[in-house]
A and B are shown apart, each in its own frame.
Chain A
Amino acid sequence: MPYDKVLMKNVGVPNSTAIQTYKASGGYQAVAKAFGMQPGDIIDLVKQANLRGRGGAGFPAGLKWGFLPPDRELTYLCVNADESEPPTFCNRVLMENDPHMLFEGILIAGYATKAKVAYIYMRGEFMEQFHIMQRALDDAYQAGYFGKNILGSGYDLDCYIHRGAGAYVCGEETGLIESIEGKRGQPRIKPPFPAIAGLFHKPTVVNNVETLACLPHILTRGVEWWTGLGTESSKGTKMYCVSGPVNKPGCYEAPLGISVRDLIYSDDFGGGMRGGKKVKGVFPGGLSVGILRGDIFDKAPGGAVDPEKNFDELDCILDFDDPRRYGLLGLGTAAAVVVPEDADIRDVLLNIARFYSTESCGQCTQCREGTTWIYQIARRIHAGAGRPRDLDLIAELTFSMGMMPGLSICGLPDGAVYPIRTVVQKYRDEFERCIAEQPAGFVEDHIERINAAAYDLPIRDGRAMTHLAGTMHELKIRQE
């Protein structure tokens, strides 16, 4: 399907980071148009376009801006360029290739929300990208797009790039705000929401890079063009990432609503699996949304969707709502990582469990302990000492943490439980087979060596014994 690229129009163009290249391709016209409008009209326009946040949660950007108190004196705009969700890299591609598109989006968003200062929070790993962005920002300042009285409109906006230092949780909006304030990046309790009291206790808007990059195009091409793209609930165009053992891993732009199968197999996108392998599973929107079963399973008769049964789920449409039907969290960042048929699902579980246990900020007990214990159980299964009860134990743990049961401050544990729960549920047969094939006696013999810390308490039927009523007596007996 040939599609006229919008967000990625300058990707691959020589010298695409220069301001002249961007202006030659029609850049900085939207901001001139925006300055001719009232800020409230721009917010209404974005609401009409139903621009949903591209950072993962899919919250409508116009609605977010509408929460700002009308009588505010100072507003801050924070740009979330802390793209830490594995395996997402669309923001990196955008910043590497077209930083001025982001700056134009910042100008429009800043004008619409009456922001005086914009901070771009870039993750610490982006060194090369930081140099590109800082250089481009200098150019934009020199050309008069930032600073005082921009383009003679009387509007002032300063923009600074703030470098993070390696923390996944700083991609959460209040964690990001704390980090800019020079503190540990631990998310804040909401309410108050950032729109009321955010950065330096002033009204703050936090938007993702890609969300802001969409703004110039909505303004120049109009709301009708934007709402003509995409599906019923999800309008517009999106940058899809695909990685893993596919023939053409990379970032591709398409209107919202392509299927996972297209993303992997279509020649416009992933171009099929390397070596003709089959797909065991795919994380369609970053790790945090969960896993879909691949085509090693049979197709469901009649196209029925039932996440409980072992059917091929690659026909999932990548928009903001369809992944929910498959038991996933949502669209996430639309970055797919493909797990091939020869990968060991225990490796996958270990990798994701480790990721969330190391990246939990440690504020909320359920998240800090829950992710750590899941990691320890995953290590046990990976080392060949798993027990059938372990799978139930993981499933039970995933229901006892996260924002949805109301047990945590931020959404990190929700992002942790969805992949872990779906991996354990959807590949239960494989886990059980692996556990059944373990050599007899391995568990008892090697329990101390594998994971001594996890076994300080005697375990019975997959539970630490003190967690059961009346087990302190048994504990004593065993110690004696």
Chain B
Amino acid sequence: MSWQVIDRKTVAEEKLGPGLSAAAKEKVRSYFDRFPTKRAAMLPALHMAQDEIGYCSLRAMREIAEILEVPPSAVSDVVTFYTHFWTHPRGEKVITVCRSLSCELMGGKKILAALKEKLGIDEHETTPDGKYSLVTEECLALCEHGPCLLINEKTHKCVRLEDVDEILKDPDNDKVTMPRSDLFDAPPQA
């Protein structure tokens, strides 16, 4: 029946990946009073899954579908549209390099090439030790500080070629010292 969602076990159990914790599920439900429909909590839920698991696993997507009372295909639909959602595990730190015109004119291409060479990976790949993933983004809206890059949440501005080594060596290169709101749970520290 098309209106019923039947798990036909087409995906092996071990390939579903980890699921959401009970606390995260509760937090997703806490978003319901913000919107008149349950489906509108989709993006917050996926952000939560990504913060907790590291990517949007199939199991998490199914669980979100169950909580939001939508078919799992609807969740998959959304995940595949937005570039920030990962459907496979990513590195511990994700380096996002801006490739907009202002950053490119200021030397963004060289920074990207240097990062590729130093990490030994291409765009959208993860280092074998699982430490870094490298992606590009169209614009980080930091154009006056170009070329810029983002490591997890931390922005690195006016990056020069000789800074790349230093940034990669720094163990705290992804730590932000922002005053956080109580409403937003920080991603678990690995």
Contacts and interface: CB of A to CB of B under 8 A. Distances in A.
Interface residues on B, range: 35 or more
Interface string A177-188: 001111111100
The listed residue with most B CB atoms (<10 A of its CB), out of A84, A244, A348, is A244
Contacts of A338: 105
Contacts of A203: none
Contacts of B96: 125
Contacts of B19: none
Interface in A336-355: 337-340, 343, 347-348, 351-352, 355
Interface in B131-156: 137-146, 150, 152-155
Interface stretch (A45-53, A85-93, A226-234, A315-323): A85-93
Given A160-B34, A337-B105, A243 B141 contact: no
Interface in B95-134: 96, 99-102, 104-106
Given A128-B176, A131-B176, A165-B84, A182 B139 contact: no
Given A163-B47, A165-B84, A182-B40, A135 B141 contact: no
Contacts of A135: 178-181
B183 interface: yes
Interface residues on A, range: 35 or more
B127 to A, nearest CB: 22
B180 A124 contact: no
Given A131-B180, A182-B37, A182-B41, A343 B105 contact: yes
B81 A167 contact: yes
A117 B35 CA distance: 9
A182 B79 CA distance: 10
Contacts of B142: 89, 92
A138 B182 contact: yes
B82 A181 contact: no
B102 to A, nearest CB: 4
A337 B39 CA distance: 39
- Main secondary structure on chain A at its contact with chain B? mixed
Interface string B65-76: 000101000100
Interface stretch (A29-37, A245-253, A293-301, A369-377): A245-253
Contacts of A165: 43, 46-47, 82-85
Given A131-B176, A181-B39, A184-B77, A243 B181 contact: no
B135 to A, nearest CB: 10
B41 A86 contact: no
Contacts of B182: 138
The listed residue with most A CB atoms (<10 A of its CB), out of B35, B46, B99, is B35
Contacts of A347: 104
A86 B43 contact: no
Nearest to A274: B106
Contacts, number: 166
B21 to A, nearest CB: 20
A166 B105 contact: no
A200 interface: yes
Contacts of A387: none
A415 to B, nearest CB: 13
B143 A335 contact: yes
B141 A182 contact: no
Nearest to A350: B104
B3 interface: no
A185 B83 CA distance: 12
Nearest to A160: B34
Interface in A354-374: 355, 358-359, 361
A324 to B, nearest CB: 22
B75 to A, nearest CB: 9
A80 to B, nearest CB: 13
20 contacts: A86-B143, A87-B100, A117-B34, A125-B137, A125-B141, A131-B179, A131-B180, A158-B34, A163-B43, A165-B85, A166-B83, A167-B81, A168-B138, A182-B39, A183-B77, A184-B78, A200-B37, A243-B143, A347-B104, A351-B99
Interface of A: 83-89, 91-92, 117, 123-128, 130-132, 134-135, 137-138, 158, 160, 162-168, 179-186, 200, 241-245, 249-251, 283, 287, 335, 337-340, 343, 347-348, 351-352, 355, 358-359, 361
